[in-house]
Structure 1
């Protein structure tokens, strides 16, 4: 009984470490992408699009990334920054499950569903 509890505590500590690494590396990667976009902006002298036009869809942004357009690169950095806490929510679901805290598994799953719905609505309505 004691070893099972010790193993569970070790697993919880390991998952908490993973969550910390996800948050840290997510911010580092997003920052690096944003800095790359800023450097491209300074080198190219603009955002890469004509006046009053900005890429709005994922397709336009991916095309802009391939063409090394500064605005698209910065949007990728923002997207990476937004995905960081979403990934944390996914790992938290696993963590709560391992702890046996099923109430928080459900609550966190609902939060994840709300996040997914908000992303889908944003894509559908181009908000």
Structure 2
């Protein structure tokens, strides 16, 4: 009938991680949708020219550039920021889980989570 403090904190961590994923995906999806609707309002009737390849503009090659573009109201910047947040959501989940495992002093899961987080960070830096 009584739960010890350790089980209660594990349940709280599960709820927080679930909410982090849920709201992260909802918020980033809403941003992508908003940016997409705004983009279509202004550019929906344009005919794309597929014969000329245009690479990604310099503003979208860094998270700072994406944030600056989105905050200045550029529609593609809003879409890119939503996608960046969508990618960051599971990474934030891993980082949050690491903090929870550190709080619980669970060495096995701390090591495993550090390995996963290191792999994610390396893939972002190398990619």
Q: Structure 1 residue 21 and structure 2 residue 19: aligned?
A: yes
Deviation at 1:99, TM superposition (A): 4.2
The 5-angstrom pairing of residues 13-52 of structure 1 reads 13-45=11-43, 52=54
CA RMSD, Structure 1 to Structure 2 (Å): 2.3
Aligned residues: 116
SS across alignment from 2:56: coil
Confirm or deny: 8 A CA contact 1:8 1:98 kept in the other structure: no
Q: Given the superposition, is the C-alpha separation of residues 26 and 115 from structure 1 closer, same or farther in structure 2, using an over 3 Å criterion?
A: same
Q: 1:53, CA displacement in angstroms?
A: 4.2
Gaps of 5+ in 2: 45-51
TM-score of the two chains, using structure 2 as the length reference: 0.78
Following TM superposition, where does structure 1 have runs of at least 4 consecutive aligned residues deviating by more than 6 angstroms? none
Unaligned runs of 5+ in 1: 123-127
Q: Secondary structure at the match of 2:4?
A: helix
Of the structure 1 ranges 68-77 and 78-87, higher mean CA displacement relative to structure 2 is found in 68-77
Tell me the residue number matched to 2:56.
54
SS at match of 1:54: coil
